[in-house]
Amino acid sequence: MGRILSAEARKFRRSAILWVIVAVILFPVVVSLMMAMGMESNGRKAPLYIFFSNHFLFVHLLMGAPLFALIAGYVFSREHQERTINNLLTYPYSRWQWYAGKLLIVAPIVALILAIQFLLQWGAGALYTGEWIPREAYLETPGEELLVQVIKAVLLGILFQILLLPAGAAAGIFGKNAIAPIVLGVCAAGLNGVILISGIPMKYAAFNPWFMPIFHSGMMAETPADDVFLRAYVSLAVVCIASLAAGLHRFVKADVHSGS
């Protein structure tokens, strides 16, 4: 498995997708700084909360869904598009090892993107505002637990995004091109946008697993009830397990013709 992981990591070298990742990491920082400067020019003090909530809004809800689906789909679909699938399947490794290896390399990449983005966002916000904790996010939380709450929100966000990766991977495996995962991600981001704009109640929003990553962020007007959390976890588990099973089955069993 080590050789597969090393090979999969090397395949990203000089890959065009790295530019997209850089853009997704930097864009929310720039937007947050512009928002903060705008507020200050209007005579209002910009809080760190803007930087904190923009991380969840842009990276998790709007840009993250298409990007992470694209990365998960890309590692599979590129093998068809670059006609390397013929080579891949004649290595002395089983197909499920390749499937696992590809997902296992995407997971830390996504985690790293989210972690770096959050740290940049937090660092930029802290330097700009002089605050170190986004107190507005967790008004009911005692001061000594705030940091734990922030770290928990970030880590759970990363975990939920990782659990959604099999859906992007399945789209790439079935579609054999990058379009299918992008469409999936854009649809998910669109749905997130609709929920945000229209104010759909959390008990219904919980059916959309791509909305899950912000459930612990303290961004929402109301704290979701326990049954809403349960519903959200179940919908996330269903999407994760179903797409994992479908993608794995297809990748392991399908005949490969003409590099497609």
Partner 1 sequence: MDIVLRTHQLTKQYGKKTAVDGVNMTVQRGEIYGFLGQNGAGKTTTLRMITGMVKPTAGTIELFGSTVNRRQHRLYQRMGTIIETPGAYRNLTAWENLDMHRRLMGVPEKERVEEILELVGLTEARNVKYKKFSLGMKQRLGIGRALLHQPEFLVLDEPTNGLDPQGIKEIRQLLRNLAEKRKITILISSHILSEIQQLATKIGIIHQGKLLEEIDYEALQRKNRHYLQLKVSDDRRASFLLENRMQIADYQVAEPGVLRVYERLQESARINRLLIENGVDIAEAVLMRDTLEDYFIRLTGVRVNGTHPERRGA
Q: Closest approach of Cβ 162 to partner 1, in Å?
A: 25
Contact between 116 and 154 (Cβ < 8 Å)? no
Residue closer to partner 1 by CB (options 88, 159) is: 88
Residue closer to partner 1 by CB (options 92, 130) is: 92
Provide φ and ψ at 133, rounded to 5°: -130, 130
Residue closer to partner 1 by CB (options 74, 122) is: 74
Residue closer to partner 1 by CB (options 14, 226) is: 14
The CB density around residue 92, as the number of other CB atoms within 10 Å, is 6
The CB density around residue 164, as the number of other CB atoms within 10 Å, is 27
Residue closer to partner 1 by CB (options 10, 197) is: 10
What is the chain's length? 260
Question: 45: alpha, beta or left, given left = phi > 0 and alpha = psi -120 to 50?
Answer: beta
Q: Closest approach of Cβ 54 to partner 1, in Å?
A: 31
Residue closer to partner 1 by CB (options 5, 146) is: 5
Provide φ and ψ at 208, rounded to 5°: -100, 105
Nearest Cα neighbor of 131 from 141, 116, 121, 117 is: 121
Q: Closest approach of Cβ 173 to partner 1, in Å?
A: 15
Give the span between the Cα atoms of 172 and 101, in whole angstroms. 15
End-to-end CA distance of the chain: 25
Residue closer to partner 1 by CB (options 222, 255) is: 255
The CB density around residue 185, as the number of other CB atoms within 10 Å, is 26
Longest dimension (CA), the chain: 65
Residue 216, SS3? coil
Q: Where do contacts with partner 1 occur on this chain (CB under 8 A)? A: 3-4, 6-7, 10-11, 13-16, 78, 82-87, 89-95, 252-253, 255-259
Q: Closest approach of Cβ 224 to partner 1, in Å?
A: 43
